[in-house]
Amino acid sequence: MLRACSLRVTRPRVAVLDAVHAFPHADTDTLIEAVRRSIPAVSHQAVYDSLHTLTDHGLVRRIQPSGSVARYEGRTGDNHHHVVCRSCGAIADVDCAVGEAPCLHASDDHGFSIDEAEVIYWGTCPACSVVASA
C-alpha cells in the first residue's frame, strides 16, 4: 500500500498502518500505545508524522466528531458515515444510506463541485442504553 502511493516503507509507517487497521476509530494515544508494542522506542512525533503522511495519501482517514479528539480509521475511499454514542463516545461505521457518493445532494451547492458528504449520527450505544435503563 505504501509503495503504491510512492511512499518509503518504514517501520513506523507500517506499524501505524497496522494499528489503525487493528483499532478502527482509535485516538492518537491508543495508536501510540499499539505501535509501541512492536517498536518500543518509537517517538510520539514519529507516530504523528506517520499519521499525517498516511492521511495525506489517503491510506488513513481522520475523523473528529464534535467534542472528540481526532480519531483514525483505515476504511477509506467509500464515503461512509459514523454513529457516535453521546454517553461513552463509541464510534461505529454506517454505510451510505442511498445512492452513490456523495450520498446526499445539497439543496444548493453554491457553485461548489461537491465530492464528499460527511454525516454523523448521534445517539446512545447499546451498552450505555442498558446502563441508562437499569
Q: Rounded distance, CA 123 to CA 79, Å?
A: 20
Number of domains forming the structure of the chain: 2
Element (DSSP H or E) covering residue 48: helix 44-56
Note if the bond before 126 is cis, omega within 30 degrees. no
Together in a domain, 65 and 18: yes
Domain boundary among 46, 72, 98: 72
Together in a domain, 37 and 96: no
Together in a domain, 54 and 109: no
Q: How many CA atoms lie within 13 A of 37 on its CB side?
A: 10
Beta-bridge partner residues of 94: 81
Element (DSSP H or E) covering residue 93: strand 91-94
Element (DSSP H or E) covering residue 63: strand 61-63
Domain of residue 109: give its range. Answer: 77-133
pLDDT at position 35 is 98
Q: Which residue has the cell 481526532?
A: 70
Together in a domain, 67 and 94: no
Q: What is the CATH number of the domain that holds 52?
A: 1.10.10.10
Together in a domain, 67 and 8: yes
pLDDT at position 93 is 92
Query: How do the pLDDT tens digits run along the chain, 134 residues long?
Result: 888 899 899 999 999 999 999 999 999 999 999 999 999 999 999 999 999 999 999 999 999 988 889 999 999 988 788 999 999 999 999 987 665 665 667 778 888 888 777 788 899 999 999 877 76
Helix (H, G, I), strand (E, B) or coil at 78: coil
- pTM of the predicted structure, to 2 decimals: 0.83
118 is in an annotated binding site: no
125 is in an annotated binding site: yes
Together in a domain, 109 and 122: yes
Q: What is the CATH number of the domain that holds 121?
A: 3.30.1490.190
Together in a domain, 7 and 67: yes
128 is in an annotated binding site: yes
